[in-house]
Chain A
Amino acid sequence: MLEPERRPVMGQKPRPRPSRRGRWVVGILAGALFAAALGSLIDDQVQAHDRFDQARTSLGVTRHETGAVSAQLTELRRNFELVTTQAGSDSTALSQDVSQLKGAQAALAADEAHVSAQSTQITSLHACLGGVERALNALSVGKQSRAITALNSVSSSCSAAASSSG
């Protein structure tokens, strides 16, 4: 079959075709652009990867530290609870001891007052007894006036002893 002759269609102006050189330039430019874009992307990926690696490493370190600190915190909290418990029990013990001390001090004060009163009574009784004995001795040898003097000298002591003994 015969190839139709390539002739411009009547009434159409034929389009100019790029030259061969132009097509090469365009191709080279497109390739360069492509290569630049690809390079840029690869560089970006590398940087992102590096960031990822650094973050992961730091994360590992941080997680390790977190574990240690967490363990430390657990231990500290345990200690804190222990100390708090001890302080609580010590506080309770102190309250009890203070209560006992107050009781003992109150008992001591009461006893001391009792002893003081007894001492006073003993002093009075001793004085009274001495006077009565002197009166007895004086009276037994007929010295009535001396006996009366001896009794009079201890009358207040005898009265005090009698009143304190109830």
Chain B
Amino acid sequence: MTIVLGAALLVAAVWTDVQERTRARHEEAALAAAGAHLASLRHDVAVTRFATAVTTGKRNALQASIAVTLSQLASTNEVLAATNVHAFLQGASIDTLQTCLGGVQNALGQISAHDTTQAAKDISSVSGPCSALDGGTSAGLVYPFDFPDPDVILVGQTYFAYATNSVAGNIQIIESTDLTHWTAVGNALPSLPTWAQAQYTWAPAVAFIGGTFVLYYAANVAGSGRECISVATASQPQGPFVDRSTAPLECQPALGGSIDPASFIDANGNLYLLWKSGGPGTSKIWSEQLSPGGTAFAAGATPTTLLVPTQEWEAGTVEAPDMVTVAGRYFLFFSGNDWETADYGVGVATCSGPLGPCNDSSPTPILSSGRGVAGPGGESVFADTTGAYWIAFHAWVPGAVGFPNSRDLYLRRLTVSGPTPVVAATG
């Protein structure tokens, strides 16, 4: 009996032991599998991390490239836009240039065909495009063709400007109602007196005296070439002015000739003629009273010197006088230096009256070369319909200084309320 029980106990123990071992083995196998799985997962984690790092690097590089590309694109687009604007403006500029050139070429053809009236019309018809090419009105340019020594008068609501001989003839004349747009009228002085030499007439000045328009102008004497001043009259500002003189009004041959006439009417209605004599180093500005009709000097009158060069910038030359009286003060405007250079400019002196004396105390010109303007001069001062003062002058276009380049017409506002007149910096 004991043996049986023992055997049974032993068998049970063996059976239990086998089961325990089996469970342990299963558990260990599961553990091994789980460990392998964990190792596999960790490997995947490492691989994924590496792949993510690589891809992130690529993405960052791509984003950096995108940023660079976008920056380049923005920059390129900016340049492209600017270039397109430039191209557009240049296209307009080419059209403008061609239009201007066409008008000038037409005028050239008319001059060759001896039709100066048509030449003047051809010129003024392209005034706008040509003005734009020469810098527009910012510098005061209003007539972009040769229009030297301008003189502007106001008749009613219309402004008339006269100038030295050029395309339109002996004395050019243009008109405007707004001081901005000017149209060629033609030749104010179709015929010259027999003593005068053709194509040497310049520096006109027109005054309305006793119901007549009186034109003073400089002319060369045929044969001698002496520079003198003459006078012509017309019943209307457009002309035609007629000079019936048999001899010049003033010459001063001993002083080198007389040119650049300008008329002045004082508060009492007395008339005066101002002009310039001589050349560089000997130039003087003169004044002499005129007769009531303005076509001759007053009886007993004698020339009086108003001004001689005293300032360094004048380089020995004062010319192109024009006198204005404002509130009892007399201002004598004049040009100084060499007319064919960019050093030419406009000065002003103060005078006690039409016959002086005058004091030129300005060490610098009140108008000189600047943006869009070279060698301004040949000025005249006038009041507009509102009473505001303007200064008309000619100037070379910078880069094209000296004859036969054009001296174009400019207008700028003039302030005369202070002790010294001030020319506006722009048109």
Contacts and interface: CB of A to CB of B under 8 A. Distances in A.
Interface of A: 30-31, 34, 37-38, 41-42, 44-45, 48-49, 51-52, 55-56, 58-59, 62-63, 65-66, 69-70, 72-73, 76-77, 79-80, 83-84, 86-87, 90-91, 93-94, 97-98, 100-101, 104-105, 107-108, 111-112, 114-115, 118-119, 121-122, 125-126, 128-130, 132-143, 146-147, 150, 161, 165
Given A100-B73, A122-B93, A87 B55 contact: yes
A52 B30 CA distance: 11
Contacts of B63: 90
A139 B52 contact: no
Contacts of B76: 101, 104-105, 108
Q: Interface size class for chain B?
A: 35 or more
A52 B73 contact: no
Contact of A139 (B65, B100, B111): B111
Contact of B111 (A45, A62, A129, A136): A136
21 contacts: A42-B13, A44-B20, A48-B21, A56-B27, A76-B45, A76-B48, A90-B59, A100-B73, A101-B76, A112-B83, A118-B87, A118-B91, A118-B94, A119-B90, A122-B94, A132-B104, A133-B146, A134-B405, A136-B107, A136-B146, A140-B166
Nearest to A58: B31
Given A101-B72, A121-B94, A137-B406, A72 B146 contact: no
Nearest to A77: B48
A48 B27 CA distance: 11
B101 A80 contact: no
Contact of A52 (B6, B16, B24): B24
A59 B52 contact: no
A59 B27 contact: yes
Contacts of B165: 140-141
A107 B55 CA distance: 35
Contacts, number: 206
B104 A69 contact: no
A63 to B, nearest CB: 6
A101 B119 CA distance: 53
B247 interface: no
A110 B9 CA distance: 105
A72 to B, nearest CB: 6
B404 A165 contact: no
B44 interface: yes
B80 A104 contact: yes
Given A76-B49, A125-B101, A130-B405, A90 B79 contact: no
Contact of B97 (A52, A101, A122, A143): A122
B406 A65 contact: no
B188 to A, nearest CB: 15
A87 B23 contact: no
Given A97-B69, A126-B133, A138-B404, 7 more contacts: A30-B3, A62-B31, A63-B34, A118-B93, A125-B94, A147-B404, A165-B94
Given A59-B34, A136-B111, A141-B165, A49 B20 contact: yes
B90 A115 contact: yes
B28 interface: yes
A22 to B, nearest CB: 17
A70 B48 CA distance: 12
A78 B83 CA distance: 48
A76 B52 contact: yes
Interface stretch (B35-43, B204-212, B256-264, B289-297): B35-43
